[in-house]
Chain A
Amino acid sequence: MSLPTVNLLTIRDLNVRFATERGELHALRDVGLDIGKERIVGIVGESGCGKSTLINAILGLLANNGRIDGGRILFNGRDLTRLDPKSMQALRGIEIATVFQDPMGALNPVISVGRQMRNIQYRSSLRNKEKDARSVAMLQRVRIPDAKQALHRFPHEFSGGMKQRIAIAMALMMEPALLIADEPTTALDATLEVATIDLLKDLQAGIGCSVLFISHHLGVIAELCDEVVVMYAGEVVERGSTSQVFNHPNHPYTARLLECDPARQAKRTRLLPTIPGEIPDLRHRPPGCIFASRCADHRSACQAPPPEIEVDNGHFARCIHARHHDENSRSRRP
Chain B
Amino acid sequence: MGALGIALVVLMVAGAIFADLLSLYEPDRISPRDRFSAPSMEHFLGTDHLGRDLFARVLHGGRIALSVALSSILISLIIGVALGLVAGYGPRRLDNLMLLLLDSIKSFPTVMLALALVTLFGPSLTVVMVVVVLVTMPGYARIIRTQTLALKESEFVTAAISLGAGTPRILRVHIMPNVIGPLLILASMDIPVVIAIEAGMSFLGLGVRPPTPSWGAILNDGYAAIRESPWIVVAGGLPIIITTLGFTFLGETLRDVFDPRLDTRR
The residue of chain A having its C-beta at the shortest distance from the C-beta of B173 within the complex is A119
Using C-beta atoms within 8 Å of the partner chain, give the interface range for chain B.
20 to 34
Residue A224 CB within 8 A of the other chain: no
Which of B57-65, B124-132, B156-164 has 4 or more CB atoms under 8 Å from chain A? B156-164
> What CA separation (Å) do A301 and B243 show in the bound complex?
83
Contact (Cβ within 8 A) A110 B155: no
What's the count of A-B pairs with C-beta under 8 Å? 71
The residue of chain A having its C-beta at the shortest distance from the C-beta of B161 within the complex is A61
A:87-140 near B, CB below 8 Å? 89-94, 97-102, 105-111, 119-120, 122-123
B:153-192 near A, CB below 8 Å? 154-156, 158-166, 169, 173-174, 177-178, 181
Contacts A108-B177, A156-B260 hold; do A92 and B162 have CB atoms under 8 A apart? yes
Contact (Cβ within 8 A) A105 B155: yes
Residue B261 CB within 8 A of the other chain: yes
Contact (Cβ within 8 A) A100 B261: no
Contacts A89-B166, A92-B164, A156-B261 hold; do A106 and B177 have CB atoms under 8 A apart? no
Contact (Cβ within 8 A) A100 B164: no
The residue of chain A having its C-beta at the shortest distance from the C-beta of B154 within the complex is A105
Contact (Cβ within 8 A) A59 B159: no
Contact (Cβ within 8 A) A154 B156: no
Contact (Cβ within 8 A) B162 A97: yes
Which of B156, B159, B169, B260: most chain A Cβ within 10 A? B159
The residue of chain B having its C-beta at the shortest distance from the C-beta of A102 within the complex is B155
B:132-170 near A, CB below 8 Å? 154-156, 158-166, 169
Residue A311 CB within 8 A of the other chain: no
Contacts A123-B164, A170-B163 hold; do A110 and B177 have CB atoms under 8 A apart? yes
CB distance from A100 to the nearest CB of B (A): 5
> What CA separation (Å) do A156 and B177 show in the bound complex?
16
CB distance from A66 to the nearest CB of B (A): 15
Contact (Cβ within 8 A) B261 A106: no
Contact (Cβ within 8 A) A92 B156: no
Contacts A106-B156, A109-B178, A156-B261 hold; do A90 and B173 have CB atoms under 8 A apart? no
> What CA separation (Å) do A122 and B169 show in the bound complex?
10
Contact (Cβ within 8 A) A92 B163: yes
Residue A171 CB within 8 A of the other chain: yes
Interface string of B193-234 (1 = CB under 8 A from A): 000000000000000000000000000000000000000000
Contact (Cβ within 8 A) A92 B159: no
Which of B160, B166, B178, B259: most chain A Cβ within 10 A? B160
Residue A167 CB within 8 A of the other chain: yes
Contact (Cβ within 8 A) A93 B156: no
Q: Which residues of A contact B260 (CB under 8 A)?
A: 109-110, 154, 156
In the A-B complex, the 5 residue pairs with the smallest Cβ-Cβ separation, listed nearest first, are: A93-B164, A105-B155, A93-B163, A98-B162, A92-B164
A-B contact pairs, 12 of them (CB 8 A): A59-B162, A61-B158, A90-B164, A92-B164, A93-B163, A105-B156, A108-B160, A110-B181, A110-B259, A110-B260, A111-B173, A122-B165
